[in-house]
Amino acid sequence: MLTALPWPAQLIASLLVTILVEFLVYWAALRAAPARLLLVAILVNACTQPVAVWLLLGPLPHFWAVETLICLIESAFLAALLRLPYQCALLLACAANLATALLGLALFG
């Protein structure tokens, strides 16, 4: 579906969709201040998503390996930014990334 778009538009669209989906997962799980959760979703995904795409297209072309790595990094960011216990942050990062990974597979094949 999104693969019909030009390459830069695909990247921007996939980042926006990722931020939106992960924000919804954070909000559904934590029910905390939405503005803060949105800011966290923007910062975390703006940092990890381009790196994930770069890894997938270059040195590590294995989708689930990259997703696992990104999940671990995001869980550390979430624990620090949202002051969550690490296990809880890992759970949240796994759930959010699972949602975006499945959506990514559906949209990009």
Give the interface with another protein as residue ranges (CB under 8 A).
3, 6-8, 11, 39-40, 42-48, 50-51, 53-54, 56-57, 61-65, 67-68, 77, 80-81, 83, 87-88, 90-91, 94-95, 98, 101-102, 108
Taking alpha carbons only, the member of 89, 94, 50 closest to residue 71 is 94
CB 95 to another protein: min, Å? 7
Closer residue to another protein, CB minimum distance, 28 or 62 = 62
- List the end-to-end C-alpha distance of the chain, in Å, as a whole number: 9
CB 65 to another protein: min, Å? 8
Q: How far apart are CA 67 and CA 100, in angstroms?
A: 10
CB 79 to another protein: min, Å? 10
Q: How far apart are CA 109 and CA 104, in angstroms?
A: 7
Q: How far apart are CA 21 and CA 100, in angstroms?
A: 7
